[in-house]
Amino acid sequence: MKSLRQKLRDGDLVLGQMVLELFTSGIGPMLAAAEMEFVLYDMEHGRCDMAMLAEMVASCRGSHIVPMCRVPDFNFRPLSRVLDLGVKGVMVPRVETREQAEEIVAQLKYAPVGRRGVALGIAHDLYQAGTPEFFAQANDEIIVILLLETAKAFENLDEILSVPGIDVAWMGHYDLTVSMGIPAQFEHPRFLAAMDALVDCCRRHGIAPGFLPATPEAAAHWISQGFRCISLGSDIGVFLNAMRGFRKSVMDSRVSPKS
């Protein structure tokens, strides 16, 4: 079976969900049961900290779901702290320059590719220090995700995505529109041009474009436009939409009691 990173390299579509609120040990396995391929725990806007993340990652063992996380920011040092808990992919917010991209890859990969610190026999290797081959294997498994969400990032897009070792370039749509002076205007020509530019640049550099569409219709559209790493909404959005739809269906189908 192909790893998630290999699927991204091969141009496959991968689906998962970003979790901002429902940090329960069941969320990862539930997403796996729903045939999702990854869960992305949010430490930037969500209430997840290191202790909670450790529990979430441990709860994913035994299922096929790939645990990933969004760290709070670029200065969350070292970025590899979350990898030592067993996270298999790391999203870093507000990447704007090639130098930042190079530093991110360096912190998340072992030498000779990078300079990730070594601690073996802990959570990430299931407390069993491996053979010398472990380091290359770990480098081949870890997914590096850059969150591009400012006008400056898109000015430097080609330079950023030319850095070796990047797997996913994720569109930060709300922040980008705010940065561009067109807040939440997702039909604006400048935003749509940025979406096209991201897909085109990713295609040239062999990187998967990533996005979080809020609706099934938006997901289908952006997948058709070339986005390949997709969060199917967020836990909050999907739960609220489902609950509202459930309630509406109940209320609409009520039969008035006989008088």
254 is a domain residue: no
- How confident is the model at residue 259, as a pLDDT? 53
- Give residue-wise pLDDT tens across range 141-179: 999 999 999 999 999 999 999 999 999 999 999 999 999
On the question of pLDDT at 255 being above 90, the answer is no
- How confident is the model at residue 216, as a pLDDT? 96
Q: Tally the C-alpha atoms within 13 A of residue 247's C-alpha that lie toward its C-beta.
A: 6
On the question of pLDDT at 256 being above 70, the answer is no
25 is a domain residue: yes
Q: What is the rounded average pLDDT of the residues 84-108?
A: 98
Q: Is 45 a catalytic site residue?
A: yes
Question: Residue 228: pLDDT band by 50, 70, 90 thresholds?
Answer: very high
Distances (CA, A) of 220 to 77, 226, 245: 36, 10, 20
Nearest to 152 by CA among 96, 92, 95: 96
Give me the number of domains the chain comprises: 1
CATH number of 181's domain: 3.20.20.60
Q: What is the rounded average pLDDT of the residues 70-79?
A: 94
On the question of pLDDT at 130 being above 90, the answer is no
Q: Please give the model's pTM, rounded to 2 decimal places.
A: 0.95
- How confident is the model at residue 1, as a pLDDT? 78
Which one is catalytic: 45, 64, 188, 205? 45
Question: Alpha-carbon distance 119 to 122, whole Å?
Answer: 7
127 is a domain residue: yes
